[in-house]
Chain A
Amino acid sequence: GENVEQHPSTLSVQEGDSAVIKCTYSDSASNYFPWYKQELGKGPQLIIDIRSNVGEKKDQRIAVTLNKTAKHFSLHITETQPEDSAVYFCAASDNNNDMRFGAGTRLTVKP
């Protein structure tokens, strides 16, 4: 089955700086790559996703890039704010129902 690796496990940045989280996947059949944000005591929430026919997608301060040849994708958050502090998960699937997640990155944005 699919194996997703995520780095780093923790990330601390100053408010206003950028944050980058990287993931790699193993199954070349995977074609859907979402990113989730999880705040304390809550379930993960989708923040952005990308499909394999697209190389980059942006939504305000967040962007995701995908390199299918190298089997890696990244989350970029610009102009970070304290409310961006959370755990972020990447995921990959080939059919949207058997979705595998990375181990998560705890992002801390210092005011």
Chain B
Amino acid sequence: NAGVTQTPKFQVLKTGQSMTLQCAQDMNHEYMSWYRQDPGMGLRLIHYSVGAGITDQGEVPNGYNVSRSTTEDFPLRLLSAAPSQTSVYFCASTGQGADGYTFGSGTRLTVV
């Protein structure tokens, strides 16, 4: 049982580059979310989805896009990377009957 799988684990980007952080879950969870974690600021919600085809913005959505074409996958796209997007990114999922969110192991992104 893999749970929530995030790739890559580490990434270095140059300012202005774009990339996609991948997230997949195998628990048939309806809800999926992306958080960024910065020192002293906890986890801040970027985007979330309540089901395939439905997404919504969280606290800090600017500079990021998401899509949810399947229940399993919820990729996060950085359109034009900026140094302020240097962070650790976590994907999480939950569903009916689940206890809280299950988190992936994170992607550490550095933008230079």
Find residues 68-112 in chain B having any chain A CB closer than 8 Å to their own CB. Answer: 90, 92, 94, 99-106
Give the interface residue-count category, chain A. 20 to 34
Q: Does A101 sit within 8 A of B, measured CB to CB?
A: yes
* A101 in contact with B100 (CB, 8 Å): no
Q: List 16 A-B contacts (CB under 8 A).
A: A9-B40, A36-B100, A43-B90, A43-B104, A44-B43, A44-B90, A44-B101, A46-B99, A46-B101, A49-B99, A49-B100, A91-B43, A97-B33, A97-B48, A101-B35, A103-B40
* A96 in contact with B31 (CB, 8 Å): yes
User: Bound state CA distance, A110 and B44, in angstroms?
Assistant: 30
Per-residue contact bits, chain A 75-111, to B (CB 8 Å; 1 contact, 0 not) = 0000000000000010100001111111110000000
Which 10 A-B residue pairings sit nearest by Cβ, starting from the closest? Answer: A43-B103, A46-B100, A103-B42, A101-B43, A34-B100, A97-B31, A101-B42, A104-B42, A44-B103, A43-B105
Q: Does A45 sit within 8 A of B, measured CB to CB?
A: yes
For the residues of B in contact with A, the DSSP-based class is strand
Find residues 37-59 in chain B having any chain A CB closer than 8 Å to their own CB. Answer: 40-45, 48, 50, 56, 58-59
Closest partner residue, chain A, to B31 (CB atom): A97
The distance from the CB of A30 to the nearest CB of chain B, in whole angstroms, is: 14
* A89 in contact with B43 (CB, 8 Å): yes
User: Bound state CA distance, A49 and B94, in angstroms?
Assistant: 14
Per-residue contact bits, chain A 22-60, to B (CB 8 Å; 1 contact, 0 not) = 000000000000101000011111100100000000000
Find residues 1-53 in chain B having any chain A CB closer than 8 Å to their own CB. Answer: 4, 31, 33, 35, 40-45, 48, 50
User: Bound state CA distance, A99 and B42, in angstroms?
Assistant: 12
For A102, give its contact among B42, B50, B58, B90 (CB under 8 Å): B42
* B100 in contact with A100 (CB, 8 Å): no
B103: A residues at CB distance < 8 A? 36, 43-45
User: Bound state CA distance, A101 and B92, in angstroms?
Assistant: 13
The distance from the CB of B52 to the nearest CB of chain A, in whole angstroms, is: 14
